[in-house]
Each structure stands twice: as structure tokens, then as C-alpha cells.
Amino acid sequence: MPRIEFDNVSKRYTPTTHAVKNLTFAIENGSFLCVLGPSGCGKSSTLRMLAGLESITEGEIRVDGKRYNELKAQSRDFAMVFENYALYPHLDVYGNLAMPLATRRLPRREIARRVGEIAETLQITEHLRKRPRQLSGGQRQRVGLGRAIIRDTRTFLMDEPLGHMEAYLRQQLRTEIRRLHEELGATTFYITHDQEEAAAISDQIVVMSDGRLQQAGDLLTLLDNPVNKFVAEFIGNLPISIIPAAVASNFGVPELIVGGARMPLPENRASLIESSISSGGSKLEVGVRPGDIELFEDSAPNRLPLSVTVVEPLGDSAVVVADGPAGRLRATVPADTAPPPGKSVHAEFDPSRLLLFDEAGINIFRTA
Amino acid sequence: MTSDSKPISQFNLRAALALGAACVVVGFSLFPLYIMITTALKAESDIFSWPPTWTFSPTLQAFKNAFLLFGGQNVLVFLFNSVLITAASTALAVGLGSMAAYALARFPFRGSKHLAFFILSTRFAPPVAFIVPIYLMFRSVGLIDTHLALILFYTSMNLSFVIWVLRGFFADIPIELEEAALVDGYTRWQVFLRVALPLVRPGLVATAILSAVFAWNEFLLANIITQRDAATIPVYLSGFSASMGIAWGEYMAVGFFAVAPIMIFTFFLQRHLVRGLTFGAVR
């Protein structure tokens, strides 16, 4: 299976609008890579450059070490799945599945055999004689997947294939896609804006924003060790709380001051502060995930006083949204211990899991 | 009971009115055709009888005269000329036009909008304005009274129209359909033939019908640059009335054959005119 490299790739549609800036990363042979990012972050441009549908302004895309920049789309031997399915409306399902084979001069019988096989795998055999418009969204994307895998390609490009589907269908089909990946072992480049989907389906996640690669890694790395504020805010099902903070010295040992609360830090974090913050006067923000906050009734020097605004039940647990002079916090607590709105609480952060962002939004506490 | 029946009878009344109106429109449109066919089938004495006779004993004399005896020259030659010139110019206009339209829709380049406008601008002047230069050009290359002259002229007249209509149709195809085929290993040419063309079928049919009707009916240039070898049906019809006085029965008999082919052509193609074929392609 091929290894795909992006080497300092940039895309400009006009001289001044950068869609993609200096992108460098690699997809290892046979691995499943997800590009995750908000809309307009350049992830689609990245995929289209790889597919050969868009020219590359600068840099180089290599597949197994070979330069692909000038290779035409039809010679790249990729298979692509589109967000809007892109099924041929003038052909029935059989015709759609057979299209990629028809250009390969295979005998009719061989085509029929392959189509039958693929339809079987994707459970669309009963729909072979239907037109795309007679199918539901989920069925259409099954046909789209079938059209991609029928060719025995070694690389799949998927551009938000589940974007238009309802939640339960998305879950069903993403399992299907992952199963196909386990079975075929093809190198897969998958685009999504849904982090849960990215985490569930891929081996590696690349987070993009504003045309730049922010961070690559698995979901746990991105959650616990985000490179910057953008990744910290973008990743995580429940939003991270970010509030202003300052650093103070307690007999030479740095402490965090958050809204009047003094929070001592573990030794490794304290030393990171010493090495990164020289001036001491820079604007800092602390980031804390809902699961790393504990709420108490009693006050303490290291606890932040807040008043509960809203409680959002999630079943077993609840999200408590609480406001204080320093800002807004979200904390998850067991559902039966959730304080009612209006009540004052005192929040204590888990100091070993705090994130600290400097003025440029870089996470000072990043360890990896 | 009365409260039930009232809305139903209202509905029926509305349907009846609509049907009646439709009948009037259809009758109005078909009446000339009816007059043409009956006149062709009437004997000379019946044609001019007043009040008009609605019942008469039909005769094929006018058809016989028109096709076998008249003027020493067989009308079938003119009919053949018309069919050949119309078919060839329509095929050329739609064939070349679809390629040009696809290129304009899919490969924008510096000044492609200006080029498209230039193509349209060839239709700005009325044909009469350039009849003389066209005549002189055809004469200097020895194309007077040839099929090729009319085929070229009709093709060029229809081309700009075909390009403009089809450009819109091609631009409406979701680009992903073509990209899917490209990634699947199809060349641009194969994408054009196997994906783009089938999807603009309604546009192809519409432009083919209008091109054919134009070529079939065109009289001005045909009358000027053709005399015998390449003259078309409209030319024949005009010469007919001038030289003989007007023999109405024969005139209508030939007229019937002048109208029938284009009607049949349109009749068989119009069912492909349905839009919305691309519905369900994406989303």
C-alpha cells in the first residue's frame, strides 16, 4: 500500500488567498488518516490536490517517493467518495458500480461478477436496477463506497462521505467504512469536521485550521496535549473552559492565580512555566476540561467561587455551567449531585491536567 | 348531501372549463393543418365552393399532379435536398456546438467570457444584412447551388445559439459527477461522452429541434444561392406559386410534405425534453 507525503504544499486560488499553507505530513502505508477541521480550513483543497483535481501552487505531493504534482487525475489510481455522493443519475446502481470497470476493457462477465460481489458486501443487491434518485441517502453512499472499492484501488480519498446523513446512519456507515479498511488495508485519506467520527474511524488525526496543519496525533494526544488554543477548543465533545490567569511566585515556586484562587502546580508544570515565561507580565489563559473540575460547597484558597447558571443533564452525568467574575466554566458532575441553578459553588481544578496558553495561544504545558 | 356535492361539482366545472380551453387552443392550432390536408384532398371545384363544403369526396388527383406531373421536375428531389441539408447542418451544429459549449463551461480561461459574447454577437445582425457578402463569398469559392453551401450557412447560423443554450446545461451538471469519472480513470474526452453528454440530453434535443426547424424553414438564402441542384422545399414552394398561378390543391399537397417531416421529427424528440434528469444526482 502506498505511502503519501505532503511536502511543504501550498495552494493559492488568487495571489493573495491562501487556501493551504506549507502543509507537511505523511500518511503511512495502509493507514487511515483523518483530516479534521472546521469548514473553510483548507481540508477539501488538500484532498483535491492529492486527487489531482486541483493544481498545486507550491511544494510537492509524493506517493511512494514519486512526485505526483503533474500526474493527471485519471492516472493516479485513487478512488474517491464524495460528500454529495456524485452518482451518475442517468445510470442505475449497476451502471454506477460498473463505471470504473468499464474504462478498463474488462469482459462483461467479469464486470457482472465484480458488481455482484460488491453489491453483496454493501447489501445493495436488491437495488441494482434502481436509479440513484430512488435511493435513500444511506443507500446512495453505499453505492458511492461500492464504486470506490470495486476497482481494487490501493488508496481511498473520502471527502466528508457521511456529512449529509442522519446521526444513526452515520454511525452505521462509519463502522462499515472502518470494516472495509480492515479488510482491504488500503491507505485512506478521510476528511471530516466531526471529531467523534474522526476518532472512531481513523488511526491518526490531522487537525487543520486556516489552511495550516495545527497538530497531528490520536484523539488522546489532541485532548490532553493540544499544541494551541485552537486545537484545545476544537477538540473535545464538551467545550473546554478558558479563563484569564496569571503567574505568581510563592517563595520562588510559581503558582497560578485564577480569579483570586491560588493554584499550586505539580513540579513538572512549574518548571515548564519557569522555562517559558521570562517576562512574567504576559497575558495568560488557563484551559480546563469539564471532567477535570470538581465542585465544592465550601470555599478554599485554591478554589474559584462561582454561581451556577444552567445545568444540562446528559443522562448519567450533567454539565454545570457556572459563572464568576473570572468568566464561565463548564464542569461535568454525576447527575445526582448537580447543584441547582443560582447556587454558589467553589471549583477546584485538577492541577496535573491544566492547560496554559500564552499570548499567542501556544500551550505552555504541552509535554509531548 | 348537498354540502358534499357542491365542492365536487365546482371542481368538475373547473376541470371542464380547463379542458374546454385546451380544446379551443388545440383546435385553433390544428385548424390550418386541417385546411391544408382537406384542400389537398379536394377536387378543384370543391376548393372554391362557397359556403365551404365540409363533406366532399376525397381525391388524390392533387397529390398525383404534384408528385408525378408537375413542372417536369420531381418534388422528391427538393424534399431530399431539404432532408439532407437539415440533417447535416443540425448534426454539425449540435455536435460542434456541444463540444464548444462544454469547453466554455468547464475550462474558463482569460477572456473566455468575451469569447462567449463574441459567439453570441454573430446573431446580432439580421441575416438580410449579410446575404450579399455571403453570396459573393460562396460564388468566389464555387459553392453556389451546392448542398455544402447551405449546410455550412445553417450550421454557422445555429452554432452560436446551440453553444449558448448548451453552455448553461453543462454548467448545471454538478462538477463532482465529472470529477468522480476522472478519478475513476476516464479521460476528459470519455467524461464528455459518457457523463456530460447523457446528462444534457434535454438540451441536445431542444437545440436539435430548433436548429432543424430553422434549417428546414429557411428561405431567404436558399432562394438566392440555390437554383436547381440544391434547392430546398421552401424554394420549390415559392417557385411553384409564381410560375403556375396558384394551383391550390397541388400547393397544399406539397405543403403537407413540407410540414410532415419536421413535425414527425419534433414529435419523436419532444418526449426527451423533460427536465429534471439531473435531479437526485447529488444529495
- pLDDT at residue B242 tops 80: no
* C-alpha cell at position A124: 445493495
User: What's the confidence (pLDDT) of residue B279?
Assistant: 40
B275 contacts chain A (CB < 8 A)? no
Site from B106, B183, B194, B195 to mutate, A interface, most A CB atoms within 10 angstroms: B183
CB A355 within 8 A of CB A363: yes
CA distance B230 to chain A (A): 40
pLDDT for A204-250, tens place per residue?
Answer: 999 999 999 999 998 889 999 999 999 999 998 889 999 999 888 87
Cα angle A244, A286, A192 (rounded to 5 degrees) comes to 115
pLDDT for A296-355, tens place per residue?
Answer: 999 999 999 999 999 999 989 999 999 988 889 999 999 888 899 999 999 999 988 999
* Nearest-by-Cβ selection for A74 from B177, B186, B283: B186
* A100/B281 touch (CB, cutoff 8 Å), yes or no: no
pLDDT classification of B255: cutoffs 50, 70, 90: confident
> Which residues of chain B lie closer than 8 angstroms to A161, CB-CB?
none
A53 contacts chain B (CB < 8 A)? yes
> Which residues of chain A lie closer than 8 angstroms to B277, CB-CB?
89-90
Q: What is the mean pLDDT of residues B244-267?
A: 83
Q: Which residues does B153 contact at the CB level (< 8 Å), separation at least 6? A: B89, B134, B221
Higher pLDDT pick, A273 / A357: A357
CB A341 within 8 A of CB A326: no
Q: Which residues does A332 contact at the CB level (< 8 Å), separation at least 6? A: A238, A290, A291, A293, A314, A317, A318, A319, A320
Cα A209 to Cα A216, A276, B167, B188: the distances in Å are: 12, 25, 36, 33
Q: What is the mean pLDDT of residues B236-255?
A: 75
Structure-derived torsion over alpha carbons of residues A313, A315, A316, A318, reported in degrees to the nearest 10: -10
pLDDT classification of B282: cutoffs 50, 70, 90: very low
What stretch of H or E contains B209? helix B201-217
CB pairs under 8 A between A and B: 87
Question: Which residues, numbered 182 to 221 in chain B, qualify as contacts with chain A under a Cβ-Cβ cut-off of 8 Å?
Answer: 182-187, 190, 194-195, 198-199, 201
* B184/A103 touch (CB, cutoff 8 Å), yes or no: yes
CB B89 within 8 A of CB B158: yes
Q: Domains in chain A, ordered, with CATH? A: 4-228 (3.40.50.300), 234-357 (2.40.50.140)
User: What's the confidence (pLDDT) of residue B281?
Assistant: 40
Question: Which residues, numbered 130 to 159 in chain B, qualify as contacts with chain A under a Cβ-Cβ cut-off of 8 Å?
Answer: none
B108 contacts chain A (CB < 8 A)? no
- Worst-scoring range by mean pLDDT, A66-75, A160-169, A227-236, B184-193? A160-169
- Worst-scoring range by mean pLDDT, A260-269, B42-51, B242-251? B242-251
Site from A82, A83, A135 to mutate, B interface, most B CB atoms within 10 angstroms: A82
> Which residues of chain B lie closer than 8 angstroms to A77, CB-CB?
185
* B182/A74 touch (CB, cutoff 8 Å), yes or no: yes
- Beta-sheet strand order (sheet of A241-250): A261-264, A253-258, A241-250, A284-288, A355-357
Q: What is the mean pLDDT of chain A?
A: 90
> Which residues of chain A lie closer than 8 angstroms to B195, CB-CB?
88
φ, ψ of residue B145 in degrees (nearest 5): 60, 40
pLDDT for B141-157, tens place per residue?
Answer: 999 999 999 999 999 99
pLDDT classification of B2: cutoffs 50, 70, 90: very low
Q: What is the mean pLDDT of chain B?
A: 85
A193 contacts chain B (CB < 8 A)? no
Q: CATH for B66-273?
A: 1.10.3720.10
The ipTM estimated for the assembled molecules is 0.83
* Nearest-by-Cβ selection for A84 from B181, B190, B283: B283
A73 contacts chain B (CB < 8 A)? yes
Closest residue in A to B198 (Cα–Cα):
A90
- pLDDT at residue B185 tops 60: yes
